[in-house]
Structure 1
Amino acid sequence: MLDITKADGVGANIRQLRMAKGMTLDRLASLSELTRGYISLVERDLKMPSIAALLRIAAALEVKAAYFFDPNSEPAPRYTLFRQEDRNTPLREGGFELFALAAGRTRKMMEPFLLSPPLKSAQRASHAGEEMLFVVNGRIAIKLDGEELILSKGDCLYFSGETPHEVRSLGRQRAEVLVVVAQTSNN
């Protein structure tokens, strides 16, 4: 089973692929619409990218985001299985806790994550493709282009990832949200 709970190596995998493609930091920054400094911090594992940033970097490098968690994964197994006990240490960035649920599968049309948003609003995100949020536990507030929606356990929201959005947990405990991002043109 692929251990996707280790943040170590994600940045190194991004750097290795960028260099293998002969791409400069400036070119990757331009293609991903991120700053050179941000990508440099990510590549040195000093900063873990948000889902939106990871998706932008992946699109610029023409791979699925899961590649950065395990570039040596076997090509397209029939299925991937993520068990409750695999949830040891999440990736943490900007108050978010994140588990990639199908990192071991390549050439997939969707990127599923289990997300625990922070209790305060995080940085706005936008990315290519479409996104679906399903609240597994708790309550969240999500701002879509300035409009705030409140979602409770069992609620589902589907929207264009290009719509600027930010999400936070409501109440005393973090919510748990299934996030599925679909992009159309990556390998």
Structure 2
Amino acid sequence: MELEYINEKIGRKIRDLRNRNGLTQQELADRTELTKGFISQLERGQVSPSVVTLLDLIECLGTTAADFFKETEEEQVVFSEQGYFEKIDEAGNSIQWIVPTAQRYRMEPLLVVVQPHQSLEEDKPHDGEEFGYVMSGRLNVILGDQIYHVKAGESFYYPAKKIHRIENPGQRPAKFIWVSTPPMF
């Protein structure tokens, strides 16, 4: 196997275990005496850990090397509503993780409903890209100090290098598919 592929696979497994354990990158770094930057690079497949470091990480994440490297059964391809995870904020905005295991992959699709005259939490600049397709209603996509108007049947796409936010300026809920890469935690 190609080294880059192996690094990405190890990184995804570390990130998945860290998330399952409810740890931040900083908390895992503190437990393993590594830096948050190293953990971030490792999870993105940008560095190769030494065997000793990898074994220490695996132990801190509550598993064994045998379980960590065990190949899983066939990957799930189809996901139904019963498996979705939903978060509703105080304003009634809804975010559904429509592929519950997406943190293991390179993109994370969400089904989002933003209530009239409400907005989602502002997102700080980060590596990655974001794409959305508006199914109903309309949105304002705010990138830095620029506002883009998007209506039903239109899509948006941007690198997430600037502060960004999504709001609904309309009189009815706006529903859209939102895909982030890499997945957000």
Compared with structure 1, are the counterparts of its residues 112 and 122 closer, same or farther at alpha carbon in structure 2 (3 Å cutoff)? closer
Query: How many pairs are equivalent?
Result: 137
Compared with structure 1, are the counterparts of its residues 140 and 81 closer, same or farther at alpha carbon in structure 2 (3 Å cutoff)? same
Q: Partners in 2 of 1:59 and 1:181 — Cα distance?
A: 17
Q: Which structure has greater helix proportion? A: 2
Give the Å deviation of 1:19. 5.6
Who is 2:128 aligned against?
129
Who is 2:148 aligned against?
149
Give the Å deviation of 1:149. 1.1
Does the CA contact (< 8 Å) of 2:102 and 2:108 recur in 1? no
Does the CA contact (< 8 Å) of 1:79 and 1:105 recur in 2? no
Residues 1:90 and 2:86 aligned together: yes
| C-alpha RMSD of the superposition | 3.9
Q: Deviations over 1:149-176 (max 9, x none)?
A: 1111111111001221111123232211
Who is 1:166 aligned against?
165
Residues 1:100 and 2:97 aligned together: yes
Read off the aligned partner of 2:86 and give its amino acid letter: P
Please, which runs of 5 or more residues in structure 1 have no aligned partner? Answer: 1-10, 32-57, 64-73
> Structure 1 vs Structure 2: percent identity of aligned residues?
19
Please, which runs of 5 or more residues in structure 2 have no aligned partner? Answer: 1-18, 45-70
Q: Which has the larger radius of gyration?
A: 2
Give the Å deviation of 1:22. 4.6
Q: Partners in 1 of 2:175 and 2:40 — Cα distance?
A: 26
Q: Partners in 2 of 1:94 and 1:75 — Cα distance?
A: 38
Q: How does 1:33-48 map to 2 (within 5 A)?
A: none
TM-score, structure 1 normalization: 0.55
